[in-house]
Amino acid sequence: MRPGLSTSAISDIFESKGVVADKKIRTVCTYCGVGCNLEVAVIDDKVKSIQAPYDAAVNQGHTCLKGRYAFSFYKHPDRLSTPMVRKNGVLEDVSWDEAYDYIASELNRIKTQHGPDAIGAISSARCTNEENYLMQKFIRAVIGTNNIDSCARVCHSPTALGMQRAFGTGAATNSIIDLKYTDAIMIIGANPTDAHPVTGAKLKQFALKGKTTIVIDPRRTEMARYATHHLQLKPGTNVALLNMMLYYIITEGLEDQGFIANRTEGYDEFKQQILNLSMDELEQVTGVDRHKVKAAARAYAMAPNAMSFHGLGVTEHSQGTYTVMLISDLAMITGNIGRRGVGVNPLRGQNNVQGAADMGCQPHQGAGYMDAYDPEINKKYALHYKTEIPTRKGLKIPEMYEAAIEGKLKALWLMGEDVVQTDPNTHHVLKAMGQLELVVVQKYL
């Protein structure tokens, strides 16, 4: 075995080469929803390396490839260094004051000519809470419309609403540290080793130890290879499969009766509805052998502590909210909520999906998830913002495209979103963009 260098020797080598950092800055990774802490080494105001601090609660010294190495974009030659305004069909560099004046003038013109609902904005789950809060406040309190949306409504709103109905809050019930205390995990509609690598690695380590791991996914993901139970359902049949699991937990008598009696409501009616379901029909709908579902249901219910993790494969369906409610029901019927090593844990797609939704970047809900169309709640917003706030229905992102094509939406402010690349039907999005009188792009690159 080749002898290794001591820590002090390595430090001396780095120092002699001039790569010892002038300073190290603690920050949070902006890629996925895990929230890894990073330590950025800076020399002469340039990023030289990124490491993960070992005292970080989320990632304990680990990062994925993107977090550790993907930082050259901050000084990429393609990155814009000044604002630009299109003049005679060509984007030209301008001062910040000229850009602000132009945007304000055009927004005022469009609002005067066509009304506030001719203006919309798309906020970003990659931006901070403060930026998202200001964007929705600007659209509602200054422009006077509820035409504000973000990707968080699609990937997070079903979780927020489903868990609000079940638990009263749309946030994860437990921390990732609870993996140390759980005996079983259920992963549904998520591919964490690809989409959330640091958390995915922890889940994979859990499975490799031979502990009970249930994966519910149409694909044979990496986690499915190590799973104790892989329920390979047909796409879009999450509700049916979870109902099967609930059915077998009830018929096998595996409910936590004490938890149900003391901490739930409406169980008798719920139980009767589940027992009325046909397993023949649900087996056909899901394409999963009922005996496999029964085995997975028993494993989840009989574990002393069980955690669930769900992702966009659950929420980005028309029945996403109901699926999240059923995942929550699974936790409650088995008493897997309210202590260490249990709970319902959504895996967010982007770094601040939770914050964008919390701050009110969706047409139907303002900051704090309160109903934007409720007159009584509207009074609270108006009092806080010290101005009249609209209760008219706002446009969702797909509706903004349709309104633009129809000539009803005249201006769109994009913050931190590349809708042409990320939204479905690129030609449709481009057509909508081409119909607008004003497009404001607020983006890092």
Which is more confidently placed, 190 or 13? 190
Strand partners of residue 343 = 307
Q: Which residues, including other chains, have CB under 8 Å from residue 177's CB and lie 6 or more apart? A: 57
The beta strands (E) that lie in 255-398 are given as 306-310, 343-346
Least confident of 219-228, 346-355, 396-405, 408-417: 346-355
**With 50 as the cut, is the pLDDT of residue 17 above it?**
no
- State how far the Cα of 392 lies from the Cα of 117, in Å rounded to an integer: 9
* Mean residue pLDDT across the chain: 91
Where is 397: in which H helix or E strand? helix 397-405
How many Å from the N-terminal Cα to the C-terminal Cα in the chain? 47
pLDDT at 444: 65
Structure confidence by residue, pLDDT tens digits, 216-270: 999 999 999 999 999 999 999 999 999 999 999 999 999 999 999 999 999 999 9
Kindly tell me the sign of the dihedral angle through the C-alpha atoms of 295, 297, 300, 301.
negative
DSSP string, 226-264: H-SEEE-PPTT-HHHHHHHHHHHHHHTT---HHHHHHH-
Q: What pLDDT score does 256 carry?
A: 97
Q: Is the pLDDT of residue 12 over 50?
A: no
Residue 243 is which amino acid? N
Reference 282, options 331, 245, 332; nearest CA is: 245
Residue type, 340: R
Residue 168 — left, alpha, or beta (φ > 0 → left; ψ -120 to 50 → alpha)?
Answer: left
Tell me if 111 sits within 8 A of 119, measured CB to CB. Answer: yes
> Contact at 8 Å (CB) between 181 and 152?
no
| pLDDT of 24 over the 50 cut | yes
Q: What percentage of the chain exceeds 70 in pLDDT?
A: 95
Question: Parallel, antiparallel, or unpaired for β 212-216 and 184-188?
Answer: parallel
Alpha helices in 92-156 (DSSP H): 96-114, 129-137, 152-155
Question: Following DSSP, what letter does each residue of 201-215 receive, concatenated?
Answer: HHHHHHHHTT-EEEE
Q: Is 415 helix (H, G, I), strand (E, B) or coil?
A: strand
Domains by residue range for the chain, with CATH: 11-75 (2.20.25.90), 84-154+353-442 (3.40.50.740), 179-346 (3.40.228.10)
Predicted confidence at residue 14, as pLDDT, reads 45
Residues 149-163 have pLDDT tens digits of: 998 887 777 887 888
Can you give the pTM of this predicted structure?
Answer: 0.82
Residue 417 has which token pair?
A: 């979103």
> Strand order of the sheet with strand 148-149?
148-149, 119-122, 411-415, 438-442
pLDDT in tens, 265-286: 999 999 999 999 999 999 999 9
Element housing 39 (H / E)? strand 37-43
Across the range 324-344, mean pLDDT stands at: 96
Are 55 and 31 spatial neighbours (Cβ–Cβ below 8 Å)? no
pLDDT(342) > 90: yes
pLDDT digits (tens, 9 = 90+) for 292-311: 999 999 999 999 999 999 99
Mutual angle of helices 290-302 and 238-251, in 10-degree steps: 60
Residues written for the chain:
445
Distance CA 279, CA 247 (A): 9
Q: What is the pLDDT of residues 61-119, one digit of tens each?
A: 888 888 888 887 777 888 888 999 999 999 999 999 999 999 999 999 999 999 999 99
Q: For a pLDDT cut of 90, what percent of the chain falls above it?
A: 71
How far, in Å, CA of 127 to CA of 269, rounded? 43
The token pair that represents 177 in the structure block? 């540290």
Q: Which ranges of 116-177 does DSSP label H, i.e. alpha helix? A: 129-137, 152-155, 157-167
Confidence of residue 4 (pLDDT cuts 50, 70, 90): low
Whether 445 has a pLDDT exceeding 80, the answer reads no
